[in-house]
Structure 1
């Protein structure tokens, strides 16, 4: 790769870190860029290299959010560990499953998310009047971490978005709080996937570490903006990113 290629990848990693910190979906920026710059790269290698940047960025976002947002660590840490195991299992199955089958399903879910958030403007902007019981909260965390963590290992893009929507709709959590919780779970799933892909030789470490620097910068800026501007800002960015993901996946599927 030449200097221009490195510049493109570092810029993409920074932008992805910002998007991921606010609403998730940064993988739809980094992964296509990797395939454009390195057309011969294997899908598992692109995914593994991206996971270095993604894990670094989500870790930075967690630290930034945790300084301002109350975190239920006793619930979130086990959920993050579960997401890590599920993501590792998903990454192990990448070569066995036709990922094209997932794209239409993900597109339908994303369209439903966009419609739901548009028609229910109070979701994620105001707190639930009746907070969920601890049992329900643990159940939602566990199921979300397991299923979405598995998806993260298989495909990846939009993981944070799905987590935020799950917490906002099922737990009545405000978007900024939901984003903070999502980063903890996503940190676990990124680590689990990275460990598996790294152990099986599907990581370009030098490139991934360089991209991690840009991703961390973007993540810190994005999380600080989310904290400063509040839930309505996150809601708007969420809708924009969801629409962008639908268009990107549609182009990938049908072009």
Structure 2
């Protein structure tokens, strides 16, 4: 319960809540991996939807990007879920680890990144690329693997179309709802969801998501940047340990 609440708060701020929830479920639930992944999607969709509503009410959403990307994400995340567990972790872990190290260095040495919007980046080509990246590539990753998806989305919205961290987090939540829904449908069809446990964890996740979203909106882009770096470094540490530990 504590992990679900904490994960919901982290996820609402900058993504990466799966870093908290999935290890706890692996240790405590005793469920098969596909069922853990499916149950986590039920948990996550409740928190992300709750946070998305809070962000939408309190800040502007670029619907021309978020709406088509979220719709595409339902499909591609579902396709990703069909491949969940079929690709060995060793095949993707080094690539993601290298990307995250690069992200950590980039964010560290670009202290102004995401603190203010950069409208010049919002061109038609970049918007189209953002829709395909968020709704296609990142959504597929979320369905197939998962942890860190929200973080990748925030960084993409910031780097590709020049959103600040607050609006990037807001749009990331919209896409995350789509990815979680698409994956949940597939996991549910194949019976890989513990609905009782999932509903219980979802209630805790909503509480955490509300706390996280409200803190992020109150504290602003600088706070989100700090949390972003913490989450990215945590992902690097976890994947590094899995790879070399």
TM-score by length of 1: 0.92
Superposition RMSD in Å: 1.3
Q: Does residue 7 of structure 2 align to residue 16 of structure 1? A: yes
The CA distance in 2 between the partners of 1:215 and 1:254, in whole Å, is 31
- Of stretches 70-79 and 43-52 in structure 1, the one that deviates more from structure 2 is 70-79
Divergent runs of 4+, >4 A: none
TM-score normalized with structure 2 length = 0.96
The number of residues matched between the two structures is 245
- The 5 A counterparts of 1:180-199 are 180-199=170-189
Q: Is the 8 A contact 2:44 2:202 kept in 1?
A: yes
Output the CA distance in 2 between the equivalents of 1:154 and 1:234: 26
Q: Is the 8 A contact 2:134 2:175 kept in 1?
A: no
Query: For 2:66 and 2:233, how far apart are their aligned partners in 1?
Result: 29
**Contact 1:99–1:154 at 8 Å: present in 2 too?**
no
In terms of mean alpha carbon deviation, does 88-97 or 20-29 score higher?
A: 88-97
Could you tell me which residue of structure 1 aligns to residue 134 of structure 2?
144
Q: Distance in 2 between matches of 1:162 and 1:64?
A: 21
* Corresponding residue number in structure 2 for 1:163: 153
Q: Name the counterpart of 2:116.
A: 126
CA distance, structure 2, for counterparts of residue 55 and residue 140 of structure 1 = 22
Please give the secondary structure, in 1, of the residue aligned with 2:193: coil
**Equivalent position SS for 1:130:** helix
1:7-156 → structure 2 map (5 Å cutoff): 10-39=1-30, 41-128=31-118, 130-156=120-146
Aligned position for 1:6: none
Query: What are the Cα deviations for residues 31-55 of structure 1, in whole angstroms up to 9, with x where unaligned?
Result: 111111134x221111000001100
Contact 1:45–1:202 (8 Å) recurs in 2: yes
1:109-128 deviations in whole A, cap 9, x for unaligned?
Answer: 11111100001111101221
5+ residue gaps, structure 2, are none
CA distance in 1, matches of 2:216, 2:96: 25
| Residue 132 of structure 1, CA deviation | 1.4
TM-fit CA distance, 1:131: 4.3
2:212 alignment partner, one of 214, 222, 227: 222
Separation of aligned partners in 2, 1:247 and 1:131? 32
